[in-house]
Amino acid sequence: GENVEQHPSTLSVQEGDSAVIKCTYSDSASNYFPWYKQELGKRPQLIIDIRSNVGEKKDQRIAVTLNKTAKHFSLHITETQPEDSAVYFCAASGTYKYIFGTGTRLKVLA
Amino acid sequence: EPEVTQTPSHQVTQMGQEVILRCVPISNHLYFYWYRQILGQKVEFLVSFYNNEISEKSEIFDDQFSVERPDGSNFTLKIRSTKLEDSAMYFCASTKNRQETQYFGPGTRLLVL
């Protein structure tokens, strides 16, 4: 069935370093890939998204890359700050629903 | 900026009881969704709803679940006879067009005892 794998499950980085989170999807019909940040007990908040007709998208310190052939997409956060600490979820969508990855708990150490 | 709202924020119920979770999507949105997140796990799709009917549902969304848009603003999820394993955070989401960004509500934390 449809599945999205996400790695790593936890990631600790020093403040100012970069963080990279990777996802792989199984459904070749997926064409929209959002990334959500979820702080403890809060709703998922969209931070960036990419569509299948684009290979890369950047928004200040956050960037996402997509390799459709390999069915991989990645989130890159540069110059990490303590407030970036949260759980990050990738998702893939081809129809109505989102299929979410299992989440990455990012901890930025001051 | 408009947001999706959900009530109640927390609900505690006894196993076998019916619960109704309520959502008010963003006003000009047309597609509505329910997801759930068991504590510490990923967000899972339950159902999508468009034009007053279910457009897609997951295996989780069995006969115990139903959705309704009873008026022009509310979107509800009903669980007819709750089970212990229904304990989770339930998120409503909405979007203006299919395959656009889904905006999530703050969630209802359901605890079934």
Q: Which of A98, A83, A108, A61 is nearest to B42 (CA)?
A: A98
Tokens 């936890």 found at: A10
Residue A20 contacts residue A74 (beta carbons within 8 Å): yes
Please report the pLDDT score of residue B83 as a whole number. Answer: 96
The first and second tokens of residue B106, run together, are 């703050």
A49 CA: distance to closest CA in chain B (Å):
8
pLDDT band for A91, please (50, 70, 90 cuts).
Answer: very high
Please report the pLDDT score of residue A50 as a whole number. Answer: 95
Write out pLDDT tens, residues A36-81: 999 988 899 999 999 988 899 999 999 999 999 999 999 999 999 9
A21 CA: distance to closest CA in chain B (Å):
15
Please report the pLDDT score of residue A95 as a whole number. Answer: 81
**CA-to-CA distance for A27 and B2, rounded, in angstroms?**
32
Q: Which of A8, A31, A33 is nearest to A21 (CA)?
A: A8
Please report the pLDDT score of residue B4 as a whole number. Answer: 95
The reply to whether A109 touches chain B by the CB within 8 Å rule is no
What is chain B's pLDDT, residue by residue, as a tens digit (113 residues)? 789 999 999 999 999 999 999 999 999 999 999 999 999 888 999 999 999 999 999 999 999 999 999 887 899 999 999 999 999 999 999 999 887 889 999 999 999 99
The first and second tokens of residue B49, run together, are 């709803």
For chains A and B, CB pairs below 8 A equal 50
Please report the pLDDT score of residue B100 as a whole number. Answer: 83
A91 contacts in chain B (CB < 8 Å):
43
The reply to whether A97 touches chain B by the CB within 8 Å rule is yes
Indicate if the alpha-carbon torsion angle A59, A17, A64, A6 is positive or negative.
negative
The reply to whether A96 touches chain B by the CB within 8 Å rule is yes
B41 CA: distance to closest CA in chain A (Å):
7
Q: Which of A63, A95, A89 is nearest to B91 (CA)?
A: A89
Q: Do A97 and B48 touch (CB under 8 A)?
A: yes
Give the closest of A34, A46, A101 to B42, CB-based: A101
The reply to whether A65 touches chain B by the CB within 8 Å rule is no
> Which one-letter amino acid corresponds to residue B33?
Y
Q: Do B43 and A100 touch (CB under 8 A)?
A: yes
> Which one-letter amino acid corresponds to residue A80?
T
Residue B30 contacts residue B97 (beta carbons within 8 Å): yes
Residues A15-38 have a mean pLDDT of: 95
The reply to whether A102 touches chain B by the CB within 8 Å rule is yes
